[in-house]
Structures are given as C-alpha cells and as structure tokens.
Amino acid sequence: QERAIQMALLSQGGFAAPLNWYKILTTSIERDDNQGIPSENVVLKKPVFFGAALRDYLALAATFIASTLQNSNDTLTIQQYDSSHWVMLEVKDKLNADLLQWIEGLN
C-alpha cells in the first residue's frame, strides 16, 4: 500500500523533478557550474543536514557521507536511515522529525 502511494505521488507530479539530479550527473552541467565557485566557498560553511539511505545500492551512503564530510566544516549533521533511495517517501515521519529537531537546534 505504501509503495502504491509513493508511485501515485511520483506519477501526479511527473518524474522530471526527481530525475533532474541524474541529468546534471550525466552531463557537464555540474562540472561547468562548479568551476565558477570561488575557492574560499568550496567548503560548505552553512549548516548542512545529510540524510543517508543505508539501503540505496546505487548512491552508496558511505561514498556520499565521505564526500559530504570532505566538503563541509563542523556544521554538518548526518542522519542515517534504513531506507532505499527515496528516503523522503519511505521514512518520511522519521526524516521530518529529524529535520525539525535539526532546524530547531540551529537557533
């Protein structure tokens, strides 16, 4: 039943927005855009929340965590979720609770 709800949500809004990330990954758009970032801004200085999907077998959590750690300073918060790629659909209540707690802690 949950899977049917997820598919209905994706079907209503279409797949264009969820697939945009893959468009930039398979083209030079991201690389070209990143070349315009001043060197002093390469490391993220703003608070970052990263939700890692532990059962995502394509976007491996360990790889993305390592990359995020490398490009962030001490403002990084990492939460790990027992979900596949679509964290926001599969564990939405847990994710939203963690996001709210994180946002409230930014004050």
At 16, the amino acid letter reads A
First to last CA, the chain: 38
Q: Are 76 and 64 in contact (CB under 8 A)?
A: no
Q: Are 54 and 63 in contact (CB under 8 A)?
A: no
β partners of residue 28: none
Domain residue spans in the chain? 1-36, 40-107
pLDDT at 64: 87
pLDDT at 48: 92
CA 81 to chain centre: 12
**How does pLDDT run across 72-92, given as a tens digit for each residue?**
888 899 999 999 988 998 999
Q: Are 48 and 68 in contact (CB under 8 A)?
A: yes
What stretch of H or E contains 11? Answer: helix 2-13
How do the pLDDT tens digits run along the chain, 107 residues long? 777 877 787 777 777 777 787 888 899 998 899 999 998 988 888 999 999 999 998 888 999 889 888 888 888 999 999 999 889 989 999 999 999 999 999 97
Round to whole Å and give the CA distance between 66 and 62.
6
pLDDT at 1: 78
pLDDT at 9: 72
Round to whole Å and give the CA distance between 105 and 41.
24
Q: Is the pTM of this model over 0.85?
A: no
